[in-house]
């Protein structure tokens, strides 16, 4: 398909979802703030540099484009997810490992929590960690999904892991993002919120509004005008979704390609022999395996802390590599301190360091560092750390086998 054929599609400037097709087969599905501008970008001269050869091949194969307009970018994001799940287009599934996608889950408990979790985590420890009532996804961009959930939460307040704690709940309750949790009526209202969140992520906003209009009329008939007015405000919010932050996030993705980058480091050895180190990368909530790096650690280095220091110094000498926003180290205070000291020596002290401490079964039990960033990027931090541990063990095994002599 070429740009001349594109002109025949008469794409609108409103948000929505676009579908590249070959005959009736769907090759690729994406979302856009402006359907016209986003689809046009696929026919730019720098497509191979900005999107890669896989997408170039997809555009070459396609012979037509369909689109579906939505009332907001938020609804485009949800529609994109539902359509990818339904159709599993060839080039969407090729572009990313399905387990690296993000999902919204609703837990099964008296006051269900609404959480974001990665497919890989759900596959590995999901059943041990959660009792899951519903799961929505896949969502292709972790940071966009977080912004989306913030918007939903302003309309239908819910609990997550942080606001479920005593101190967190008090804060979120004060700013209207956590619901009342005391009393029978509070529980009924909360369950309604959860039901509406579920419907919203199913793409059934119209059903939510119809149900709310019936409920509003009922309260008005019983002259419970305060409750009726509250529902009226909710309907207005649904009809006028404020997704400026999501639009900004979408435009950064479209125009600059700037990614929020997390790098995680881990060291592996047996009794100080065959010591290796690795770096793994998560960008915008997704693993980027092309950016992973391996390090052979000097045999004179006898402990994990010194090994980490050597690895970071060698990494920071590569100024051609993009610098991260957050560095994740496996360990505790000692590892965090050596990382911060090394960053200061190289003149980049603004890079934030967090440390993941493990229990006796090597499961994360605590993250130390900047609390606001830990709260915002917890799942990405744990993903990067988990990938570093897996990659380090794999690399160490390769080195050990290579050096083993009968």
Summarised one tens digit per residue, pLDDT across range 278-315 is 999 998 888 999 899 999 888 666 688 999 999 999 99
DSSP string computed for 318-340: -TTSPPPSEEEEESSHHHHHHHH
Among 365, 376, 290, which Cα is nearest to 325's? Answer: 376
Distance linking the first and last C-alpha atoms of the chain = 59
Q: Give CA–CA dist 91/285, Å, rounded.
A: 20
- Is residue 138 reached through a cis peptide bond, with omega within 30 degrees of 0 on the bond before it? yes
Other CB atoms closer than 10 Å to residue 327's CB: what's the count? Answer: 27
Q: Give CA–CA dist 108/130, Å, rounded.
A: 8
What token pair was written down for 277? Answer: 């180190």
Q: In what order do the strands lie in the sheet with 132-139?
A: 114-118, 102-107, 132-139
Three-class DSSP category at 10: coil
Among 261, 280, 258, 266, which Cα is nearest to 326's? Answer: 261
Q: Give CA–CA dist 65/171, Å, rounded.
A: 47
Instruction: Specify the pLDDT at position 256.
Output: 45
What are the distances in angstroms from CA 38 to CA 15, 147, 207, 245, 379?
10, 20, 29, 18, 29
**pTM metric for this prediction:** 0.64
What token pair was written down for 216? Answer: 């509003």
Domain annotation for the chain: domains and CATH numbers: 3-95 (3.40.1440.10), 100-250 (no CATH), 261-403 (3.30.420.340)
Instruction: Specify the pLDDT at position 268.
Output: 87
State the alpha helices, DSSP H only, in 63-140.
73-87, 90-95, 119-129
Q: Give CA–CA dist 41/134, Å, rounded.
A: 36
Does the CA dihedral 41-45-51-54 come out positive or negative? positive
List of the chain residues with pLDDT < 70: 1-5, 7-8, 46, 48-52, 94-100, 124-127, 164, 166-167, 248-251, 253-258, 271-273, 299-302, 402-406
Among 310, 284, 307, which Cα is nearest to 384's? Answer: 284
User: HSE of 216 in the Cβ direction (CA atoms, 13 Å)?
Assistant: 15
DSSP string computed for 200-247: HHTT-HHHHHHHHHHHHHHHHHTT-HHHHHHHHHHHHHHHT---HHHH
Q: Which residues contact 50 (CB under 8 A, 6 or more apart)?
A: 41, 44, 257
Three-class DSSP category at 50: helix
Residue with tokens 């979802």: 17
Q: Give CA–CA dist 56/43, Å, rounded.
A: 9
* Helix 142-155 with 225-239: angle, nearest 10 deg: 150
Residue 80: burial class (beta carbons within 10 Å; 0-12, 13-18, 19+): buried
Instruction: Specify the pLDDT at position 239.
Output: 94
State the alpha helices, DSSP H only, in 88-183.
90-95, 119-129, 142-155, 166-174
Q: Give CA–CA dist 308/264, Å, rounded.
A: 11
Q: Are 384 and 262 in contact (CB under 8 A)?
A: yes
- Our CA angle for 242, 11, 138, nearest 5°, is 55
Instruction: Specify the pLDDT at position 245.
Output: 74
Instruction: Specify the pLDDT at position 95.
Output: 57
| pLDDT tens digits for range 239-284 | 999 887 777 666 675 544 457 889 999 998 776 567 899 999 998 8
Q: Which residues pair with 45 in a beta bridge?
A: none
């Amino acid at each position: 398909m070429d740009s001349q054929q594109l002109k025949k599609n008469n794409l609108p400037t409103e948000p929505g979802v676009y579908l590249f097709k070959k005959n009736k087969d769907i090759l690729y599905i994406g979302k856009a703030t402006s359907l016209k501008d986003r689809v046009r970008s696929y026919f730019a001269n720098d497509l191979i540099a900005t999107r890669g050869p896989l997408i170039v091949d997809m555009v070459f194969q396609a012979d037509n484009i369909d689109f579906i307009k939505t009332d907001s970018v938020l609804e485009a994001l949800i529609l994109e997810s539902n359509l990818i799940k339904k159709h599993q287009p060839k080039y969407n599934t090729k572009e990313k490992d399905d387990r690296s996608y993000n999902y919204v889950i609703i837990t099964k408990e008296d006051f269900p929590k609404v959480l974001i979790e990665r497919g890989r985590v759900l596959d590995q420890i999901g059943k041990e960690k959660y009792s899951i009532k519903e799961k929505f996804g896949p969502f292709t961009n972790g940071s966009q999904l977080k912004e989306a959930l913030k918007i939903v939460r302003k309309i239908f307040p819910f609990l997550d892991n942080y606001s479920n704690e005593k101190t967190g709940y008090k804060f979120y309750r004060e700013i209207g993002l956590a619901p009342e949790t005391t009393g029978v009526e509070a529980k009924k209202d909360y369950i309604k919120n959860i039901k509406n969140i579920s419907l919203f992520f199913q793409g059934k906003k119209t059903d939510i509004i119809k149900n709310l209009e019936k409920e509003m009329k009922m309260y008005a008939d019983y002259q419970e005008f305060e409750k009726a007015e509250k529902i009226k405000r909710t309907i207005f919010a649904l009809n006028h979704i404020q997704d400026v932050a999501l639009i900004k996030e979408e435009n950064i993705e479209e125009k600059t390609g700037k990614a929020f980058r997390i790098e995680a480091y881990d060291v592996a050895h047996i009794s100080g022999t065959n010591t290796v180190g690795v770096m793994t990368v998560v960008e915008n909530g997704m693993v980027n395996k092309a950016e992973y790096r391996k390090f052979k650690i000097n045999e004179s280095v006898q402990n994990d802390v010194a090994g980490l220091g050597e690895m970071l110094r060698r990494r920071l000498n590569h100024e051609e590599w993009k610098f991260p926003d957050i560095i994740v180290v496996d360990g505790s205070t000692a590892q965090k301190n050596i990382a911060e000291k090394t960053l200061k020596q190289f003149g980049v002290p603004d890079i934030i360091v967090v440390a993941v401490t493990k229990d006796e079964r090597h499961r994360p039990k605590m993250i130390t560092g900047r609390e606001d960033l830990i709260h915002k990027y917890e799942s990405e931090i744990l993903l990067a750390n988990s990938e570093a541990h897996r990659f380090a063990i794999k690399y160490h095994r390769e080195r050990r086998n290579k050096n083993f002599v009968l």
